[in-house]
Amino acid sequence: MRHCCKFKADDIYYLSENDLYSSRKLSVGFCPICGKPVAELIEYRFDGVINRISLSGIEANNLMLQCKDEIIYSMKECNYLRFKSKPYGWKYGVNKVVKINGKEKLKQYACDFYGNKELIKSI
């Protein structure tokens, strides 16, 4: 995204297709220099033409409100679900000994640095 300088979007929303456009993305962020909200809508027409709208300030807020009902999913939601489902990235093992009815059982877990845990083996 570009306003006073080039910067990364805070979140990217993927929008549903309509009669004219496919592959619609709405990128939203705040300019690090002036602090204004910036929104950029990129749409691909079915004949191959790209429509790019970049707005800042109140116009960016209005564009976000117009596209609010067409949002399918956002990148933040996808990343959050990926990190919260199973161990992701670097993993380490944790062994726990549990006593059940006087017998000891060993449980081996795979853990990551995001707090996710998954049972691998129970001996």
- Does residue 77 belong to any structural domain of this protein? yes
Q: Is residue 27 located within the same domain as residue 72?
A: yes
Q: Is residue 56 located within the same domain as residue 110?
A: no
Q: Is residue 29 located within the same domain as residue 77?
A: yes
* pLDDT (0 to 100) of residue 75: 83
Phi (first) and psi of residue 10, to 5 degrees: -70, -40
How many structural domains is the chain composed of? 2
Residue whose pair of structure tokens reads 């619609």 in the numeric block: 24
- Does residue 35 belong to any structural domain of this protein? yes
* pLDDT (0 to 100) of residue 97: 92
* pLDDT (0 to 100) of residue 82: 63
- Mean pLDDT for the stretch of residues 76-85: 69
pTM of the model: 0.63
* pLDDT (0 to 100) of residue 40: 93
Q: Is residue 71 located within the same domain as residue 104?
A: no
Q: Is residue 78 located within the same domain as residue 98?
A: no
> Which domain does 71 fall in, by range?
11-82
pLDDT tens for 4-56 read: 888 888 889 999 988 888 889 999 999 888 888 999 999 998 888 999 999 99
* pLDDT (0 to 100) of residue 39: 93
Q: Is residue 17 located within the same domain as residue 34?
A: yes
Q: Is residue 94 located within the same domain as residue 56?
A: no
Q: Is residue 116 located within the same domain as residue 95?
A: yes
